[in-house]
Structure 1
Amino acid sequence: MKFVYSIRTILIAGFLAVMLPTLLFMMINHFYSRDIVRDKVTETYSNTLDIFVGQTDDNLDEITNYLLKMSILDVDVGMLMSFPTNDDMYTLTKIRIDTKLKRDVDIYNVIDSVFLYHEQDIIMGTNSEYNNMKDIIQTHMGERTASSASITDDVSRRWEVRFDQRMPGGFFLLNSIEVNAGLHVGALIRLKDINESLLTQWSDGVIGDTGIWLREEDRLKNRLTENEPPVDAGATRITNVSYQTLSSSDNGKSYLVMNRPSRVVPVAYQVIVPEQALLKELSFFRNVALFAPIGLVLILSLYLIFIRKMLFKPLQELIFGMRKISLGMLDVRLKRGKTIEFEFLGETFNKMAEQIKTLKIDVYEEQLRVKQGELRQLQSQINPHFYMNSLNIIYNLAALNDTESVKKMSLHLADYFRFIMRTNSDTITIREELSHIGNYITIQQIRFPDKLACAIEADEEVTKLPIPALTLQPFVENAIIHGFKNRRKTFHISITAATSEREGQPALTLTVADNGTGYDEAVLEQLRQKRYVPQGDSGGLGIMNVIDRLSILYGDRCSIEFYNSADGGAVVTISIPLQGGGA
Structure 2
Amino acid sequence: MKFGKSIRTRLIIGFMGVMLPVVVYMLINNSYSREIVREKVSETYRNTLDIFVGQTDHNLAQINDYLYKMSVLDSDVGLLMSFPMDSDGYTLTKIRIDAKLNRDVGVYNLIDAVFLYHHNDIIFGTNSVYNDTKNIIKSHMDNMTTAENLAHNDQQTWEVRADDRMPGKYFLINFIKVSEELYVGAIIKVKDINTMLSIQWSDGDIGHNGIYLREDNRLVQALTESLSPLDLNDEILKEPYESLTDHETGADYLVMNRMSERVNIAYQVVIPEETLLRNLLFFRNVTLFAPIGFLAILLLYLFFMRNMLFKPLHELILGMKKISLGMLDVRLKKNKSLEFEFLGNTFNIMAEQIKTLKIDVYEEQLRVKQGELKQLQAQINPHFYMNSLNIIYNLAALNDTETVKKMSLHLADYFRFIMKANRDTITLKEELTHIENYITIQKIRFPDKLQCTFEGMDTILNYPIAALTIQPFVENSIIHGFKNRRQLFQIHIRAEMTEDNGFALTISDNGVGFSPEVLKKLQNKEPLQHEEKSSLGIMNVIHRLDLLYGERTSITFGNHSEGSGAIVTIVFPKPLEGGRAVV
Question: If the TM-score is normalised by the length of the shorter chain, which range does it land in?
Answer: 0.5 to 0.7
Task: Give the drift of 1:476.
Answer: 2.0
Q: Matched residues in 2 for 1:465 and 1:307: separation? A: 51
- Code of the aligned partner of 1:194: I
- Code of the aligned partner of 2:188: I
Q: Which residue of 1 aligns with 2:23?
A: 23
For the Cα contact (< 8 Å) 1:474–1:539, is it kept in 2? no
Q: Name the SS of the counterpart of 1:571 in structure 2.
A: strand
Q: Which residue of 2 aligns with 1:336?
A: 335
- Code of the aligned partner of 2:525: R
Task: Give the drift of 1:114.
Answer: 1.6
Q: Percent identity?
A: 51
Larger deviation, residues 204-213 vs 507-516? 204-213
- Code of the aligned partner of 1:111: I
For the Cα contact (< 8 Å) 2:413–2:437, is it kept in 1? yes
Q: Which residue of 2 aligns with 1:228?
A: none
Larger deviation, residues 8-17 vs 512-521? 512-521
| Equivalent runs, 1:219-238 vs 2, <5 Å | 224=225, 233-238=228-233
Q: Matched residues in 1 for 2:539 and 2:283: separation? A: 82
Does the alignment pair 1:531 with 2:525? yes
Please give the per-residue CA displacement for 1:206-251, whole angstroms capped at 9, x wherever unaligned: 99334336899979989649xxxxxx734533354734235998xx
Task: Give the drift of 1:312.
Answer: 3.5
Q: Matched residues in 2 for 1:446 and 1:108: separation? A: 126
Superposed CA RMSD in Å reads 6.1
Q: Name the SS of the counterpart of 2:186 in structure 1.
A: strand
Task: Give the drift of 1:474.
Answer: 2.2
Q: Name the SS of the counterpart of 2:24 in structure 1.
A: helix
Does the alignment pair 1:572 with 2:568? yes
Q: 1:186 to 1:260 in 2, by over 3 A?
A: same
Does the alignment pair 1:188 with 2:182? no
For the Cα contact (< 8 Å) 1:237–1:259, is it kept in 2? no
Q: Which residue of 1 aligns with 2:366?
A: 368
Task: Give the drift of 1:320.
Answer: 6.0
Q: 1:172 to 1:390 in 2, by over 3 A?
A: same
Please give the per-residue CA displacement for 1:527-577, whole angstroms capped at 9, x wherever unaligned: 6x7734758624665334323423443456656565555994333344545
Does the alignment pair 1:492 with 2:489? yes
Please give the per-residue CA displacement for 1:319-343, whole angstroms capped at 9, x wherever unaligned: 56557766838264412323x3223
- Code of the aligned partner of 1:211: N
TM-score, normalization by structure 2 = 0.68
Q: Which residue of 2 aligns with 1:424?
A: 422
Q: 1:23 to 1:497 in 2, by over 3 A?
A: closer
Larger deviation, residues 181-190 vs 470-479? 181-190
- Code of the aligned partner of 2:565: G
Please give the per-residue CA displacement for 1:247-294, whole angstroms capped at 9, x wherever unaligned: 998xx9864355779899998744243425545897998588457646
Q: Which residue of 1 aligns with 2:90?
A: 90
Task: Give the drift of 1:197.
Answer: 4.2
| Equivalent runs, 1:132-531 vs 2, <5 Å | 133-138=129-134, 158-160=160-162, 173=171, 175=173, 187-191=186-190, 193-199=192-198, 208-212=206-210, 224=225, 233-240=228-235, 242-246=242-246, 255-258=253-256, 269-275=267-273, 278-279=276-277, 289=287, 293=291, 296-297=294-295, 300=298, 303-304=301-302, 306-318=304-316, 328=327, 330=329, 332-338=331-337, 340-359=338-357, 361-383=359-381, 420-428=418-426, 433=431, 437=435, 452-457=449-454, 467-485=465-483, 487=484, 489-490=486-487, 492-496=489-493, 501-503=497-499, 505=501, 510-518=505-513, 531=525
Q: Name the SS of the counterpart of 1:328 in structure 2.
A: coil
For the Cα contact (< 8 Å) 1:245–1:255, is it kept in 2? yes
Query: May I ask how many residue pairs the two structures share in their alignment?
Result: 556
Q: Matched residues in 2 for 1:385 and 1:80: separation? A: 141
Q: Matched residues in 2 for 1:184 and 1:553: separation? A: 116
For the Cα contact (< 8 Å) 1:558–1:574, is it kept in 2? yes
For the Cα contact (< 8 Å) 1:385–1:538, is it kept in 2? no
Q: Matched residues in 2 for 1:235 and 1:521: separation? A: 80
Q: 1:33 to 1:526 in 2, by over 3 A?
A: farther
Task: Give the drift of 1:160.
Answer: 1.9
For the Cα contact (< 8 Å) 1:220–1:236, is it kept in 2? no
Task: Give the drift of 1:349.
Answer: 3.1
Please give the per-residue CA displacement for 1:496-538, whole angstroms capped at 9, x wherever unaligned: 467x654485x776442211244689987886x7734758624
- Code of the aligned partner of 1:198: L
For the Cα contact (< 8 Å) 2:71–2:78, is it kept in 1? yes
Q: Matched residues in 2 for 1:518 and 1:261: separation? A: 101
Task: Give the drift of 1:85.
Answer: 5.2
Task: Give the drift of 1:14.
Answer: 0.9
For the Cα contact (< 8 Å) 1:71–1:178, is it kept in 2? yes
For the Cα contact (< 8 Å) 1:496–1:511, is it kept in 2? yes
Q: 1:198 to 1:343 in 2, by over 3 A?
A: same
Q: Which residue of 1 aligns with 2:123?
A: 123
